[in-house]
Amino acid sequence: MTHAPAASAWGATANAPKDPRRWLTLAAVNFALFMALLDITVVNVALPSIAQDFKSSFSELQWVIDTYALVIAALILTMAKLGDLFGRKRLFLAGLVIFSGASLGCALSQNVTQLQIARGVQGIGGAILSPIAAAIISATFWGPELGTAFGIYGGVSGIALIAGPIVGGLLVKYVSWQSVFLINVPIGLIGLVAGALVIKESRNTQANRYVDIVGVALSIATLFSLTLALIKGAEWGWTSGRTLGWLAAAVVLFVLFIVAEIVQARRGLDAMMDLSLFRVPTFSGTAVITVIVSFSYAGLLFIMALLFQNVLGYDALGTGLRYIPFVIGSIIIAPLVGANANRLGARLIFGVGLALLGLGFLLLTRITPSSDWDALLLGLIIAGIGGAAVQAQLTNAAVSSAPRERAGIATGISATMRQVGSSMGIALLGSIFTSRYSHYLPGALAAGQVPKEFADRLIQGTGGNAAFAGRVPPQVPPQFAPPVQQATHVAFISGFNDTIRVAVLFIAVAVLIALVFVRRTDSAHDMSATANQPREEVRTSEAVARAD
C-alpha cells in the first residue's frame, strides 16, 4: 500500500476541529458492538435448553458457538478492508441489517443444523461490526482521547462477554431460548437509526482496491480444518487417522495461507493479513496474548454454563446472575486502565492482569462435587478484575505498536485474534473437558455401585454425553437414579478442574510473552514519546491513524 506524505494527505484533517458528535458516535458504535459481542456468550446459558429441544450432542453445541466465531475470524480482516474502500459507516449499517436478520433466522430454526447455518450468517454481520467499530473509533478520536475511547471500547467488550449469560438467563427463564436471538432485532433497528444519525463517514482513499480472495478462502479452510479436528478429537480419538488427517490439513493450509500472503505482498497487492506487522515484538506478543485470553474466556464460559445448570442445579437466570462477579471487574477496572494506559504501559497491565486472571482461574478448581457455587466466588472476582484489565488494553496495544498508516489493519488483526482465540477455546477446552469427563465417568459409576452392564449401556447412550451431565436419562431405573446423578456430577467436576488447569498453563505462557515481547519502545502511538514534539507535528502524525 502506498501513502502520500502526511503533510499533504492528512494536513487538513490534522488541523480540523474535533468532531462534536464523537462521544455520541462512540456510544452508537458501542451499542451495536455490544449486541454483536453479547451473542458470543448470551447463547451459553441457552445451551442446555437447546440441547434438550434438539437432542444435541456436546460437539453439536460446540458448533453452535464456534460457527459464529469462525466466520467472524475468517472474514473480519476482509470486512475491515471493504470498510476502508467503500465507507465504514455504510458497511457498519449493512452489518447491523445482516446481523439482525440472521438473529431472526436463529430464533426460527427447527433443528440444530438450521441453527448452526443461521449462526454462520450471523457471523458475517459480526465480522463487519467488530473491525469497523474499532476503525470508526480510530477515525474519530486522537491524542489522549484515543486511549480513553479504546478503554471504553474494551470495557464494553468485556461487559458484553460477561453480561451475555445474565441477559440470556432472564430471557430463557421468562420467555424461551429463541428469545436470546429475537432480542437482537429491536436492538439492531435502534443501532441502525442511531448510527445513521451520528456516525460520520470515513474511508481510506489511499487503499489499494484489490481484495485478497485467495487469502480469505485459505483462512476459512484452515480454521475449519483445525476446529473440526479439535472438536471431534475426543470422539474420534486424538491419535486416530481422521483427527491427525484434519490436523495435517490445517497445517498445510496454514502454510499455503502464509505463502499466499507473502506472494501478494511482493506483488504490491494488499494481502488479507499484513505479516510485516508481526515483525514488531509488541504487536506479535499482543496478538498471542489476545488469542490466549479469548481462548480461556470462551472455553470457561461455555463449560461453566453447563456446570451451573446441569450439576449445581440452577435455572438459566440463576446461572446468569452468578456471572456478576466478572462484570464488577469490567465495569470498574476497564475504564481506569484505558485512562491510564500510556502512564502504566502495556507490559505492566498485561503482566499484572494476566497473573490475576490465572490466579482466579486456579482458584476455581477448589470446587468439589459437594460444593455450591460460592466455592467459585473468589476466583470469579479475581479473574474478572485481571481479565478486564487485559481486555481494556488489547486493541490499544495492538494499534499503538503498529505504524500509524496501518492502524486500520492492526485493529482488524486484533479483532481476528479475539475470534480465533474464542473458537479455539471452545473447540480445544471443550474437547479436553469431554475427554476428561469420559475418563472419569466409568470410575464414578463403579464407585456408586452401578452394575457394570447397565453402566456400559448408559455410557454409550445419553448418559455419556457431557451436555446432559447431571440429568438422569429417563430409561434409568429409580433405584439407580441417585448414584447415576452423583457419578455424572463427580465426572463433570473432575473434568472441569482438569480443563481449568490446562487454561491456566496457557495463561502462564501469556505472562511470559508479555514480559519478553511487550515493550514501551514499540508504541508508535504512545503520547509520552511525542510529548516534546511540536503540537502540529503530533496532530499531523496522529491524523494518519484516523484517516486509515
C-alpha cell belonging to residue 271: 494481502
Taking CA atoms, 287 is separated from 203, 402, 406, in Å, by: 25, 12, 15
Comparison of pLDDT for 341 and 207, the residue scoring more: 341
Question: Following DSSP, what letter does each residue of 378-404 receive, concatenated?
Answer: HHHHHHHHHHHHHHHHHHHHHHHTS-G
- Given a cut of 50, whether residue 211 has pLDDT beyond it is yes
Cα-Cα end-to-end distance for the chain: 11
Q: Tens of pLDDT along 265-274?
A: 888 777 778 8
Identity at 96, one-letter amino acid code:
L
Q: Phi/psi zone of residue 472: left (φ > 0), alpha (ψ -120 to 50 degrees), beta?
A: beta
CA 312, distance to chain mean position in Å, is 26
Tell me the pLDDT band of 58, cut-offs 50, 70 and 90: confident
Residues 6 or more apart whose Cβ sits within 8 Å of residue 418? 130, 290, 291, 294, 394
C-alpha cell belonging to residue 544: 494518519
Q: What single-letter DSSP state applies at residue 18? A: P
In degrees rounded to 5, what are phi and psi of residue 87?
110, 125
Q: What is the mean pLDDT of the chain?
A: 83
- Given a cut of 60, whether residue 174 has pLDDT beyond it is yes
Closest CA to 493 of 378, 322, 365: 365
- Given a cut of 50, whether residue 352 has pLDDT beyond it is yes
Model pTM?
0.80
SS (H, E, C) 123-182: HHHHHHHHHHHHHHHHHHCCCHHHHHHHHHHHHHHHHHHHHHHHHHHHHHHHCCCCHHHH
Q: Calculate what percentage of the chain has a pLDDT beyond 90.
A: 34
Q: What single-letter DSSP state applies at residue 240? A: S
> Is the Cα dihedral 410, 41, 505, 427 positive or negative?
negative
Tell me the mean pLDDT in the region 164-168.
Answer: 81
Tell me the mean pLDDT in the region 453-474.
Answer: 71
Other Cβ atoms within 10 Å of 269 Cβ, number? 15
HSE of 372 in the Cβ direction (CA atoms, 13 Å)?
4
d(CA 365, CA 40): 24
> Which H or E element spans position 283?
helix 281-306
d(CA 340, CA 31): 24
Residues 6 or more apart whose Cβ sits within 8 Å of residue 340? none
Taking CA atoms, 99 is separated from 124, 126, 313, 431, in Å, by: 7, 7, 33, 29
Residue 11 pLDDT: 39
Residues 6 or more apart whose Cβ sits within 8 Å of residue 61? 47, 50, 51, 467
Residue 469 pLDDT: 72
CA 119, distance to chain mean position in Å, is 15
d(CA 129, CA 415): 10
pLDDT-wise least confident of 287-291, 362-366, 407-411: 407-411
Tell me the mean pLDDT in the region 111-115.
Answer: 95
- Given a cut of 70, whether residue 93 has pLDDT beyond it is yes
pLDDT-wise least confident of 10-14, 117-121, 256-260, 466-470: 10-14
- Given a cut of 60, whether residue 2 has pLDDT beyond it is no
Highest mean pLDDT among 228-242, 248-262, 464-478: 248-262
Comparison of pLDDT for 55 and 505, the residue scoring more: 505
Identity at 221, one-letter amino acid code:
A
Tell me the pLDDT band of 224, cut-offs 50, 70 and 90: very high
Q: What single-letter DSSP state applies at residue 309? A: I
Residue 97 pLDDT: 94
Residue 410 pLDDT: 83
Give me the residue label for grid cell 467472524: 72
The number of helices, as runs of H, and strands, as runs of E, in the chain is 21, 0
- Given a cut of 60, whether residue 342 has pLDDT beyond it is yes
Comparison of pLDDT for 345 and 288, the residue scoring more: 288
